Amino acid sequence: MKTFLAKILFFIILFNNSFLNAEINIQAKTAIIQDYLSGKILFEKDPDIKIYPASMTKIMTTIVAFELLNNGEITLNEKFVISEKAWRMSQSGYSSMFIMLNDEISVENLLKGIIIISGNDACVALAEGISGSEEEFVVLMNEKAEEIGMNNTNFSNSSGIGDSNNYSTVRDILKMSNHLIKNYPEYYTYFKETSFTWNRTGGDPITQGNRNALLYENIGVDGLKTGFLTVEQYSLASSILRNGRRITAVGSGFKSKSARKKESRKMLLHGLSKFDTVEIAKKNEIFSSLDIWLGKKSKVDIYVKDDIYITVAKRKKKTITAYIEFNGPIPAPIKKDAKLGVLNIFLNDGLFAQHDVFSMEKIKKVNIFSSLIRSFNFFVWGDV
């Protein structure tokens, strides 16, 4: 058996790590920018220092609810009774949905109250309705955080109101934001709604606007969540989708609402304008084909099990090379999903990534008579 290399060329733009933080200066205590598809970090500024996430905590509150919705454990139409604890949150000067004691409010309205208008009262009501108490709900939040890989995070309440035991990092908030976008796309659409009118029981309807000012600029921003605490100042987890590319950014320690908006816009547009993301292969789709020996088909289609994207800076055009390395000739029979080789991706002649490639189909071996004829032809004429 010999090792063969099947070469594939991708004409894209060379990535250079030195460009990561070039040409951008973010006025925040801590910040991070990531290309959603490739996972490449495009900028970071002290991304692992401890922060108090304030209302960005509500992203996890909604994730817990979304998972229960997907599992059929709760429904959007299900109603929860408002406790005195939840009601008092609307009387204390916090951002509120202005729920009323003993009212019954649907899960969907509570979610919109949390996501769109950042209602702390809605957070407590949802938490109590799901788990019986906010304390028990927080257990679910921390379990989910551990599952996602938020290694420097601890939640102590469902709303993010001031508590020294409710802490995180912008890197962890980024992980949480991307988890929500990826796993709950049907509910993520709530985050881009600019206002919510709650037709409350026994009172006039209340309309409030979304606190994420970037949603009103029509640049493609579709989430996620603002935050404010006096000790932390202003924060924002944001995401933009344009021409199939998504950039997600998190910043904390902005000096004002205006700075939060301006600097977050700068981060998102930096990711879009200074970098390109190139699709190399889509998971479970035909990527290429390889020659086989003594099979009922002459080639076998191959695929990779993960989406493969590369994000590169827009400064210098170069060539990415990719080789499928395999032992050949590949003899039939071939099982479906059998590993046949490795896709090696090189950037500027340096190995960048490796991905196993698998057979898309089952290929049977030809019968003995056909096998003898092919073997004779190969012996006489060679591989033609």
Residue 376 has what pLDDT? 47
Q: Which positions ≥6 away from 210 have C-beta within 8 Å?
A: 116, 117, 193, 194, 195, 196
Residue 65 has what pLDDT? 98
Give dist(CA 238, CA 357) in Å, integer: 35
Q: Assign domain 28-254 to its CATH superfamily.
A: DD-peptidase/beta-lactamase superfamily (3.40.710.10)
| Residue 12 in this model has a pLDDT that exceeds 60 | no
| Residue 46 in this model has a pLDDT that exceeds 90 | yes
Give whole-number Cα distances, 171 to 5, 33, 247, 257, 359, in Å: 39, 9, 14, 21, 37
Q: In the chain, what is the straight-line distance between the N-terminal and C-terminal CA atoms, in Å?
A: 18
Q: Which two tokens stand for residue 326?
A: 């395999």
**Is the pLDDT higher at 291 or at 153?**
153
Q: Averaged over 90-98, what is the pLDDT?
A: 81
In the chain, residues under CATH classification 3.40.710.10 are 28-254
Give the pLDDT band of residue 202 (cuts 50, 70, 90).
confident
Q: Which positions are catalytic? A: 55, 58, 118
Angle (CA) 121 124 129, round 5°: 125
Residue 367 has what pLDDT? 65
pLDDT digits (tens, 9 = 90+) for 239-283: 999 999 999 999 999 999 999 999 999 999 999 998 888 888 888
Q: What's the pTM?
A: 0.84
pLDDT digits (tens, 9 = 90+) for 293-342: 877 888 888 989 998 888 877 764 466 778 888 887 788 888 999 999 89
Give dist(CA 102, CA 120) in Å, integer: 17
Q: Which two tokens stand for residue 104?
A: 């019954």
DSSP 28: S
Give the rounded percent of residues in the chain with a pLDDT score beyond 70: 88
In the chain, residues under CATH classification 2.60.410.10 are 2-13+280-381
Residue 319 has what pLDDT? 61
Q: Around Cβ 323, how many Cβ atoms within 10 Å? A: 16
Give the pLDDT band of residue 175 (cuts 50, 70, 90).
very high
The dotted CATH code for 2-13+280-381 is 2.60.410.10
Positive or negative, the CA dihedral 88, 92, 97, 100 is positive
